Amino acid sequence: MTTVRHRRRAAAATVGLIVTLGLTACSTGQSSSSSAGGNAAPVSGQISITYLQKQGDQQYFIGEAAGAKAKAAQLGVKLNVVNLGNDANQTVSDVQSAIAQKSNGIIIVPPDPAVGPQVVQTAKDAKVALLTSDDQVCATGPAPANCNPKDLLPRIGFSGQQMGQQVGQRAAEEFKKTGWAPADTRIISAWQQDVTVCGDRVKAAKAAFDTGAGASIQDIEVSTDNTPTGAQDKVAATLTANPGVKHWIIWGCNDENVQGGITAMQNANITPDNVIGVGLGAYLACKDWGSGKPSGMKAALFINGSDVGALAVQTMYDKLKNGKDFPQEAFAPTAMVDASNWQSSGVQCS
C-alpha cells in the first residue's frame, strides 16, 4: 500500500439511466445501528457531510460521488468527497480530519475493512454520525465476515447475494447455449477475499449457476486485489496451471476482475467463443461492446453508483436533520445488460 494520500474531486458526471429507488430496507432494532450514529447531536443549521471513498477514480465511485453531490446540492448540504484510493493507512487520519473540519456525519467506503473498529470508535468519541456505503464494516473486529450481525454498521448499497444470483443465472443461460462439455470447462471466481460483499457475490453466483446450468463444473477461486491488472496477473497464472481446459466461464466481485481475466485469456490466445464473462458494474464491459469486436464479455450487471451516493446522502441527512434512524441496510436496484442494450440502459463507460 502506498503511503501517499490521493485526493480527487470525483467528476460531476451524470449517469443517464433514470431509475426509481425501489429500496429494500430493514432495521434490526439492535444497538449497533444507534451507537454508530445515534449519539450525534441534531443539526439545526447547515449540515456538513464528508464522503470518504476507496478507489475514487474508478467509474463506479465517480458516479457515486456525482450522485452524492447532486443530492447534497438539492438538500442544501455541504459535502466534501475524499478519495482514499487504496491506502488504508490514510483512512483513520482522514476520518480525524473530517471531524476536525466539523463534519456532522461521515459516509465511508474504506479500502480495508480492518480499520472498522478504530473508525467507529473515533466517530463515536466525537459524536459524529457514521454510515457506510457499498462495503460492510464491523464495529468490533477487522473482518465483517466474522462479525456479529448486530455489530455491522448500517450500510447503503446493493445486495451482494441478489447481484451474485443475477450474474450466476446469466452465466448459466450463456453456458446452456454453447454445448460445452463440463469436463472441458472451468469457472474462475475472482475477487478480493477479505471484502465480505465480494464473497457474498461470488458464492451466490456459483449457487445460481449450479441451479440454472444443469451441470457440475469445477470452480477455481482466484484471490485478487479487485483491479484489472491484479486480476489479469492471477488469472494468467491460473490459465498456465490448467493447460487442458478448452472453455472458461469467469465472474467476480466487479468488472475489473472479469475484464482483467478476459485480457489474460486473450493474451493466452483463448478466443472469445470459448469464454463466457459476466461482469459486475458494466462500466468496463461496455468498452468491449463499444468496439464492435467479438468479446468474451457476454453480459454485465449494471450497478448505478449515482443511486447509492444519492441515497447515502439522503439517509445521512434524514438522520441529522430529522432524527430518523439509519436502516440496517438499504439497497438500490440493478439491471443486466449486454452488447445489445447497454447504451439504451445509460451505462457510462470508464
The CA distance from 279 to 287, in Å, is: 12
| Res. 20: pLDDT tops 50 | no
| Res. 287: pLDDT tops 80 | yes
The CA distance from 296 to 310, in Å, is: 33
| Res. 24: pLDDT tops 90 | no
Exposed/middle/buried for residue 145 (C-beta within 10 Å: 0-12, 13-18, 19+): middle
What is the pairing mode between strands 329-331 and 155-157? parallel
Going by C-alpha positions, the residue among 133, 45, 194 that lies closest to residue 316 is 133
Give me the percent of the chain exceeding a pLDDT of 70: 89
Q: What is the per-residue pLDDT for 292?
A: 87
State the CB neighbour count (10 A cutoff) for residue 136: 22
Going by C-alpha positions, the residue among 108, 150, 149, 101 that lies closest to residue 129 is 108
| pLDDT tens-digit map of 130-141 | 999 999 999 999
Q: Go through 154-170 and write b for each residue having 16 or more CB atoms within 10 A of its CB, e for each that does not.
A: bbbbbbbbbbbbbbbbb
| Res. 30: pLDDT tops 90 | no
Mean pLDDT of the chain: 88
| Res. 34: pLDDT tops 50 | no
First CA to last CA distance, the chain: 24
Grid cell at residue 97: 480530519
| Res. 245: pLDDT tops 90 | yes
| Res. 260: pLDDT tops 50 | yes
Main-chain phi, psi angles of 113, to 5 degrees = -65, -10
Q: What is the per-residue pLDDT for 110?
A: 93
| Res. 7: pLDDT tops 60 | no
| Res. 244: pLDDT tops 90 | yes
Going by C-alpha positions, the residue among 339, 236, 267, 268 that lies closest to residue 297 is 339
| Res. 206: pLDDT tops 60 | yes
Asked which of 16-20, 30-34, 77-81, 206-210 is least confident by mean pLDDT, the reply is 16-20
Going by C-alpha positions, the residue among 148, 213, 150 that lies closest to residue 187 is 213
Q: Stretch 159-165: mean pLDDT, rounded?
A: 93
| Res. 11: pLDDT tops 80 | no
249 vs 146, residue with greater confidence: 249
Model confidence pTM above 0.75: no
Contact residues for 232 (Cβ-Cβ < 8 A; gap 6+): 260, 261, 263, 264, 267
36 vs 277, residue with greater confidence: 277
Give me the percent of the chain exceeding a pLDDT of 90: 77
Q: Output the CA–CA distances (angstroms, integers) from residue 150 to 13, 139, 257, 295, in the order listed.
A: 36, 9, 31, 44
Which single residue is written with the C-alpha cell 476536525? 100
Contact residues for 221 (Cβ-Cβ < 8 A; gap 6+): 189, 193, 202
Q: What is the per-residue pLDDT for 39?
A: 63
| pLDDT tens-digit map of 50-101 | 999 998 888 889 999 999 999 999 999 999 999 998 888 889 999 999 999 9
